[in-house]
Chain A
Amino acid sequence: DAGITQSPRYKITETGRQVTLMCHQTWSHSYMFWYRQDLGHGLRLIYYSAAADITDKGEVPDGYVVSRSKTENFPLTLESATRSQTSVYFCASSESEAFGELFFGEGSRLTVL
């Protein structure tokens, strides 16, 4: 089915472990984004990508790594998870840099113990 999918939807891990959240979109959108949303807070941009192999930091990039080897995939890696990274992570894609219509995935809820 066309759309944007995230996996896993739920993940529990321990402090210090590496975790990768996957994001896949079928529209061939150039732009992809990772946001985190903490309980009671708005969305904060972690990283974004304008095209394959082009990425840039957002508001809160520390502790995260991204890659974009293929247009359709934009994985987010927590190299050494910390409790403060417990959050809901949303991936989004957009066709255009100028027009702000983002299409969001369903979110990945990550708990770091």
Chain B
Amino acid sequence: LAKTTQPISMDSYEGQEVNITCSHNNIATNDYITWYQQFPSQGPRFIIQGYKTKVTNEVASLFIPADRKSSTLSLPRVSLSDTAVYYCLVGDIGNTGFQKLVFGTGTRLLVSP
């Protein structure tokens, strides 16, 4: 059973705002929601993390509704360099009782001029 579900791909143009939504219907009470960015031939890089409501940092905002069954990563005014794969991630309790961090399928964002 997939932990998270995201759109496979999205297209945008420079200067636009991009919103990527992730569905996580089975999120547990103590799970945080984290988003990563990955460029080709590189490891993923942390973007933002949240538990509920809204979180904002210098690169993105994360919106989480009250039921926490989904979340939306918002990238303001994207540029060509934002072309990457974006992953939504929530925790999952393993056999040892500790969280194992499982990635979703990712959303491939293509930003065009």
User: Once the chains bind, are A56 and B100 in contact (CB under 8 Å)?
Assistant: yes
Which of A42-50, A70-78, A79-87 participates in binding chain B? A42-50
* A12 CA / B26 CA spacing, docked (Å): 40
User: Once the chains bind, are B44 and A43 in contact (CB under 8 Å)?
Assistant: yes
Name the A residues within 8 Å of B33 (CB-CB): 100
| Interface residues as binary, A51-81 with B (CB distance below 8 Å gives 1, 0 otherwise) | 0001011110000000000000000000000
User: Once the chains bind, are A45 and B87 in contact (CB under 8 Å)?
Assistant: no
User: Once the chains bind, are B43 and A58 in contact (CB under 8 Å)?
Assistant: no
User: Once the chains bind, are B49 and A100 in contact (CB under 8 Å)?
Assistant: yes
B105 at the A interface (CB under 8 A): yes
B99 at the A interface (CB under 8 A): yes
User: Once the chains bind, are A104 and B34 in contact (CB under 8 Å)?
Assistant: no
> Given A42-B103, A43-B103, A105-B43, are A100 and B91 also a contact pair (CB < 8 Å)?
yes
Name the B residues within 8 Å of A58 (CB-CB): 94, 100, 102
CB-contacts of B80-102 with A (<8 A)? 85, 87, 89-91, 94-96, 98-102
Name the A residues within 8 Å of B98 (CB-CB): 31, 48, 50, 54, 56, 97
Name the A residues within 8 Å of B106 (CB-CB): 42
Name the A residues within 8 Å of B69 (CB-CB): none
User: Once the chains bind, are B46 and A101 in contact (CB under 8 Å)?
Assistant: yes
Q: How far is the CB of B3 from chain A (nearest CB, A)?
A: 10
User: Once the chains bind, are A101 and B34 in contact (CB under 8 Å)?
Assistant: yes
B13 at the A interface (CB under 8 A): no
B57 at the A interface (CB under 8 A): no
Chain A residues packing against B (C-beta within 8 Å): 31, 33, 35, 41-45, 48, 50, 54, 56-59, 90, 92, 94, 97-107
8 contacts between A and B (CB under 8 A): A42-B87, A45-B103, A50-B98, A54-B98, A56-B100, A92-B43, A100-B49, A105-B43
Can you name 7 extra interface pairs (CB under 8 A) apart from A42-B85, A102-B36? A35-B103, A42-B87, A45-B100, A48-B94, A57-B95, A104-B43, A107-B43
